[in-house]
Amino acid sequence: MLVQELADRLIQWLKQQLADRKANGFVIGLSGGIDSAVTVALCKRVCPDSTLGVIMPCHSDPQDALDARLVAEAFNVQVEHVVLDEVFDLMVQKLTGLAFYNENAKDLSIVNIKPRLRMTTLYYYAARNSSLVVGTSNKSERTVGYFTKHGDGGADLIPLANLVKHQVRDLAQYLGVPRPIIEKAPSAGLWAGHNDETEMGITYEELDRFILTGEGSDYVKGIVEKLYNRSEHKRQLPASPPF
Protein backbone atom coordinates (compact mmCIF):
# COMPACT_ATOMS: atom_id res chain seq x y z
CA MET A 1 0.00 0.00 0.00
CA LEU A 2 1.33 3.44 -0.91
CA VAL A 3 2.01 5.72 2.04
CA GLN A 4 -0.51 8.30 0.80
CA GLU A 5 -3.22 5.66 0.61
CA LEU A 6 -2.29 4.39 4.05
CA ALA A 7 -2.54 7.90 5.53
CA ASP A 8 -5.89 8.50 3.83
CA ARG A 9 -7.32 5.20 5.10
CA LEU A 10 -6.16 5.91 8.66
CA ILE A 11 -7.71 9.38 8.52
CA GLN A 12 -11.01 7.95 7.29
CA TRP A 13 -10.89 5.31 10.04
CA LEU A 14 -10.35 8.00 12.68
CA LYS A 15 -13.28 10.00 11.27
CA GLN A 16 -15.52 6.96 11.47
CA GLN A 17 -14.42 6.16 15.02
CA LEU A 18 -15.17 9.73 16.06
CA ALA A 19 -18.64 9.58 14.53
CA ASP A 20 -19.46 6.10 15.86
CA ARG A 21 -18.50 7.08 19.40
CA LYS A 22 -20.13 10.52 19.17
CA ALA A 23 -16.97 12.19 20.46
CA ASN A 24 -15.86 15.79 19.99
CA GLY A 25 -12.13 15.31 19.48
CA PHE A 26 -8.90 13.53 20.32
CA VAL A 27 -6.40 13.63 23.19
CA ILE A 28 -2.84 12.38 22.60
CA GLY A 29 0.15 12.16 24.90
CA LEU A 30 3.06 13.94 23.21
CA SER A 31 6.28 12.21 24.22
CA GLY A 32 8.59 13.87 21.71
CA GLY A 33 8.91 10.59 19.79
CA ILE A 34 7.94 9.58 16.29
CA ASP A 35 4.88 7.49 17.16
CA SER A 36 3.07 10.25 19.04
CA ALA A 37 4.10 12.75 16.33
CA VAL A 38 2.53 10.65 13.58
CA THR A 39 -0.56 10.03 15.71
CA VAL A 40 -1.14 13.70 16.44
CA ALA A 41 -0.56 14.60 12.77
CA LEU A 42 -3.27 12.14 11.70
CA CYS A 43 -5.68 13.30 14.40
CA LYS A 44 -5.13 16.95 13.51
CA ARG A 45 -6.26 16.25 9.96
CA VAL A 46 -9.51 14.84 11.30
CA CYS A 47 -10.13 17.36 14.09
CA PRO A 48 -8.21 20.56 13.30
CA ASP A 49 -9.83 22.46 16.19
CA SER A 50 -10.27 19.72 18.78
CA THR A 51 -7.03 17.75 18.86
CA LEU A 52 -5.20 18.18 22.16
CA GLY A 53 -1.61 17.18 22.79
CA VAL A 54 -0.57 16.66 26.41
CA ILE A 55 3.09 16.90 27.40
CA MET A 56 3.68 15.03 30.68
CA PRO A 57 7.28 15.07 31.88
CA CYS A 58 7.94 12.81 34.85
CA HIS A 59 11.60 13.10 35.83
CA SER A 60 12.14 13.02 32.07
CA ASP A 61 14.92 14.16 29.79
CA PRO A 62 14.17 17.90 29.21
CA GLN A 63 14.85 17.36 25.50
CA ASP A 64 11.73 15.19 25.26
CA ALA A 65 9.47 18.10 26.24
CA LEU A 66 11.28 20.36 23.76
CA ASP A 67 10.78 17.77 21.03
CA ALA A 68 7.10 17.47 21.96
CA ARG A 69 6.76 21.25 21.65
CA LEU A 70 8.44 21.07 18.25
CA VAL A 71 5.83 18.55 17.09
CA ALA A 72 2.95 20.63 18.49
CA GLU A 73 4.23 23.73 16.72
CA ALA A 74 4.80 21.85 13.45
CA PHE A 75 1.15 20.77 13.36
CA ASN A 76 -0.34 23.76 15.21
CA VAL A 77 -1.79 21.57 17.94
CA GLN A 78 -3.18 22.91 21.20
CA VAL A 79 -1.05 21.75 24.14
CA GLU A 80 -1.41 21.19 27.87
CA HIS A 81 1.80 20.81 29.89
CA VAL A 82 1.45 18.77 33.08
CA VAL A 83 4.56 18.07 35.14
CA LEU A 84 4.12 14.80 37.05
CA ASP A 85 7.36 14.78 39.05
CA GLU A 86 5.78 15.53 42.43
CA VAL A 87 2.89 13.12 41.92
CA PHE A 88 5.31 10.34 41.01
CA ASP A 89 7.54 11.12 44.02
CA LEU A 90 4.55 11.03 46.36
CA MET A 91 3.40 7.70 44.95
CA VAL A 92 6.86 6.21 45.38
CA GLN A 93 7.06 7.47 48.97
CA LYS A 94 3.61 6.09 49.82
CA LEU A 95 4.25 2.70 48.23
CA THR A 96 7.87 2.07 49.16
CA GLY A 97 8.67 4.35 52.07
CA LEU A 98 11.64 5.68 50.12
CA ALA A 99 12.30 9.42 50.30
CA PHE A 100 13.14 9.36 46.59
CA TYR A 101 13.57 6.86 43.79
CA ASN A 102 17.02 6.09 42.39
CA GLU A 103 16.55 6.19 38.61
CA ASN A 104 19.58 3.96 38.14
CA ALA A 105 17.72 1.09 39.81
CA LYS A 106 15.53 0.63 36.69
CA ASP A 107 12.82 -1.04 38.78
CA LEU A 108 9.88 -1.64 36.40
CA SER A 109 7.39 -1.96 39.25
CA ILE A 110 8.20 1.67 40.04
CA VAL A 111 8.97 3.26 36.69
CA ASN A 112 5.75 1.87 35.19
CA ILE A 113 3.93 4.26 37.54
CA LYS A 114 4.98 7.01 35.11
CA PRO A 115 2.95 5.85 32.08
CA ARG A 116 0.02 4.99 34.36
CA LEU A 117 0.00 8.53 35.72
CA ARG A 118 0.08 9.78 32.13
CA MET A 119 -2.88 7.57 31.22
CA THR A 120 -4.85 9.04 34.13
CA THR A 121 -3.99 12.55 32.99
CA LEU A 122 -5.06 11.87 29.40
CA TYR A 123 -8.41 10.46 30.50
CA TYR A 124 -9.04 13.54 32.63
CA TYR A 125 -8.72 15.80 29.59
CA ALA A 126 -10.70 13.38 27.43
CA ALA A 127 -13.57 13.34 29.92
CA ARG A 128 -13.56 17.12 30.25
CA ASN A 129 -13.73 17.58 26.48
CA SER A 130 -15.87 14.57 25.46
CA SER A 131 -12.87 13.34 23.50
CA LEU A 132 -11.18 10.01 22.82
CA VAL A 133 -7.75 9.06 24.13
CA VAL A 134 -5.64 8.02 21.15
CA GLY A 135 -2.80 5.60 21.89
CA THR A 136 0.49 5.71 20.03
CA SER A 137 1.74 2.11 20.15
CA ASN A 138 2.75 0.42 16.89
CA LYS A 139 2.67 -3.25 15.87
CA SER A 140 6.36 -3.79 16.61
CA GLU A 141 5.90 -2.64 20.20
CA ARG A 142 2.66 -4.53 20.67
CA THR A 143 4.10 -7.78 19.33
CA VAL A 144 6.80 -7.89 22.00
CA GLY A 145 4.73 -6.20 24.71
CA TYR A 146 6.84 -3.07 24.70
CA PHE A 147 4.22 -0.95 26.43
CA THR A 148 2.88 -0.58 29.94
CA LYS A 149 -0.34 -2.38 30.76
CA HIS A 150 -2.95 0.22 31.78
CA GLY A 151 -0.36 2.88 30.98
CA ASP A 152 0.48 3.80 27.40
CA GLY A 153 -1.48 0.65 26.52
CA GLY A 154 -4.63 2.28 27.94
CA ALA A 155 -6.44 4.08 25.12
CA ASP A 156 -9.73 4.24 23.21
CA LEU A 157 -8.12 4.03 19.77
CA ILE A 158 -4.71 2.83 18.56
CA PRO A 159 -4.38 3.86 14.90
CA LEU A 160 -0.82 2.61 14.48
CA ALA A 161 -1.53 -0.83 15.98
CA ASN A 162 -1.10 -2.67 12.66
CA LEU A 163 1.98 -0.77 11.44
CA VAL A 164 5.54 -1.84 12.12
CA LYS A 165 8.13 0.78 13.02
CA HIS A 166 9.47 1.43 9.52
CA GLN A 167 5.92 2.00 8.25
CA VAL A 168 5.49 4.62 10.97
CA ARG A 169 8.69 6.29 9.77
CA ASP A 170 7.37 6.33 6.20
CA LEU A 171 4.18 7.96 7.42
CA ALA A 172 6.17 10.48 9.44
CA GLN A 173 8.03 11.63 6.35
CA TYR A 174 4.83 11.87 4.32
CA LEU A 175 2.98 13.82 7.03
CA GLY A 176 5.82 16.28 7.57
CA VAL A 177 7.04 15.27 11.01
CA PRO A 178 10.17 17.34 11.83
CA ARG A 179 13.39 15.60 10.82
CA PRO A 180 14.92 15.59 14.37
CA ILE A 181 11.93 13.58 15.59
CA ILE A 182 12.20 11.04 12.77
CA GLU A 183 15.92 10.56 13.44
CA LYS A 184 15.62 10.44 17.24
CA ALA A 185 16.64 7.20 18.96
CA PRO A 186 13.49 5.31 20.06
CA SER A 187 12.90 5.40 23.81
CA ALA A 188 10.02 4.87 26.22
CA GLY A 189 11.73 7.40 28.51
CA LEU A 190 11.36 5.28 31.64
CA TRP A 191 14.82 6.24 32.92
CA ALA A 192 17.82 8.35 31.92
CA GLY A 193 19.44 7.06 28.75
CA HIS A 194 16.65 4.56 28.14
CA ASN A 195 16.73 3.03 24.65
CA ASP A 196 14.12 0.64 23.25
CA GLU A 197 16.48 -1.45 21.14
CA THR A 198 19.04 -1.84 23.91
CA GLU A 199 16.39 -3.06 26.33
CA MET A 200 14.79 -5.45 23.82
CA GLY A 201 18.13 -6.85 22.69
CA ILE A 202 17.28 -6.51 18.98
CA THR A 203 16.81 -3.62 16.56
CA TYR A 204 13.47 -2.48 15.18
CA GLU A 205 14.76 -3.38 11.72
CA GLU A 206 15.27 -6.99 12.85
CA LEU A 207 11.93 -7.03 14.66
CA ASP A 208 9.99 -5.56 11.72
CA ARG A 209 11.53 -8.03 9.28
CA PHE A 210 10.60 -10.97 11.48
CA ILE A 211 7.02 -9.74 12.00
CA LEU A 212 6.44 -9.18 8.27
CA THR A 213 8.31 -12.15 6.80
CA GLY A 214 9.06 -14.61 9.60
CA GLU A 215 12.72 -14.32 8.68
CA GLY A 216 15.54 -13.69 11.11
CA SER A 217 18.42 -15.28 12.92
CA ASP A 218 17.80 -17.88 15.60
CA TYR A 219 18.76 -15.21 18.13
CA VAL A 220 16.13 -12.77 16.84
CA LYS A 221 13.47 -15.50 16.68
CA GLY A 222 14.28 -16.53 20.24
CA ILE A 223 14.06 -12.97 21.58
CA VAL A 224 10.76 -12.25 19.82
CA GLU A 225 9.19 -15.53 20.91
CA LYS A 226 10.24 -14.99 24.52
CA LEU A 227 8.96 -11.39 24.62
CA TYR A 228 5.73 -12.28 22.83
CA ASN A 229 4.90 -15.13 25.20
CA ARG A 230 5.85 -13.14 28.28
CA SER A 231 3.59 -10.24 27.27
CA GLU A 232 0.56 -12.19 26.04
CA HIS A 233 -1.52 -10.96 28.99
CA LYS A 234 -1.07 -7.36 27.81
CA ARG A 235 -2.89 -8.05 24.56
CA GLN A 236 -5.87 -9.78 26.19
CA LEU A 237 -8.89 -8.64 28.12
CA PRO A 238 -8.85 -9.51 31.84
CA ALA A 239 -9.50 -13.21 32.40
CA SER A 240 -12.96 -14.17 33.61
CA PRO A 241 -14.56 -17.50 34.57
CA PRO A 242 -16.17 -19.50 31.73
CA PHE A 243 -19.42 -19.81 33.73
What are the residue numbers of the active site? 35, 141
216: region left, alpha or beta (phi > 0 left; psi from -120 to 50 alpha)? left
Residue 123 burial (CB count, 10 A): 16
Query: CB-based contacts of 177: which residues, under 8 Å, 6+ apart?
Result: 34, 37, 38, 41, 71, 74
Q: Is the Cβ–Cβ distance between 132 and 156 less than 8 Å?
A: yes
Q: Which residues contact 181 (CB under 8 A, 6 or more apart)?
A: 32, 33, 34, 37, 67, 70, 71, 172
- The Cα-based distances of 95 to 57, 110, 113, 196 in angstroms read 21, 9, 11, 27
Cβ atoms of 79 and 52 within 8 Å: the answer is yes
| Sheet arrangement for strand 78-81 | 78-81, 51-55, 25-29, 131-133
Spacing of C-alpha 208 from chain mean position: 17
